[in-house]
Amino acid sequence: MKAFIYSGIIAIGLSFGGYFSAKQISSAKQLIEVKGLSEKIVKSDLCTITIDVEHTGETIEDTQKQLQKSVDIILDDLKKINLNRKDVLIASRTYDRNTEEYNDGKKINVRKFEMTKSLKISTNNIDAPKAIEDMLSGWLSKNILVRCDYEYKLSDFNKLKKEMMKEAAQNARDCAQSFVGALGEELGELVYLNQGVISMSASDESEASNSWYGQTRSAEKKLRLVIRAGFKKKAVIGK
């Protein structure tokens, strides 16, 4: 889904240098300053997902065995939503720690090992986070403890930026042309063009003010680019 919205805002700045005779071009220094706008609503085409799987045990061997069992269950479930092993990068971490437990009201220190495996997934299936969320209760019922995080991205962001820059520049020129045309004059050369910064927000208006949500959690994003441009009016002899 794509939508294009254009608008322009005009400000006039006059700068004069020295003196002009009656036949000189009195409008040569007049500057038309405008803003050009480009907006798009685009759907993300890339999603990165991280699933952290944790297990704690009294020996490294037991902890590792239980952790791998949990990971195998998760990988099998991921296949059901077309996420295969080749799509998953797995990293491991092991912690050796003392934990405090109580026996007959007495606090004792117990040595335990905590192991975590992080499953990092990159996929074009943007529905995957919702499908994984639906699996969480099933994993919990099997004593599999996980933490999930995900982020939606635009793989062609640089291409979109170029397109929006071109559209905003044309919007600025059209706006300036409309203004000078209303005055019965003609638009002259471009004096300057300041590239703006693309802002990204959720397309859902209820989440639009949350920039973090728009940049990461929203699959559908609203991109907005505002640029500033300055044009001269064409000199008119005798005015």
pLDDT on residue 1: 40
Quick check: 8 pLDDT over 50? Answer: no
- The more confident residue out of 147 and 111 is 147
78, 87, 89, 98, 165 from 123: Cα distances, Å: 12, 7, 12, 39, 28
- Output the six-digit token pair for 169: 């520049």
Distance CA 230, CA 174 (A): 12
- Output the six-digit token pair for 201: 């927000």
> Which numeric CATH code is attached to 46-153?
3.30.70.600
Cα angle 213, 216, 219; round to 5 = 90
Q: What is the pLDDT of residues 141-173, one digit of tens each?
A: 999 999 999 999 999 999 999 999 999 999 999
Nearest Cα residue to 235 out of 13, 16, 26, 31: 26
Nearest Cα residue to 49 out of 232, 231, 221, 217: 217
CATH T-level fold of 8-43+156-233: Translation Initiation Factor IF3 (3.30.110)
Domain boundary assignment for the chain: 8-43+156-233, 46-153
Q: What is the pLDDT of residues 86-106, one digit of tens each?
A: 889 998 876 666 555 556 666
Q: Would you say 80 and 138 are in contact if contact means Cβ atoms under 8 Å apart?
A: no
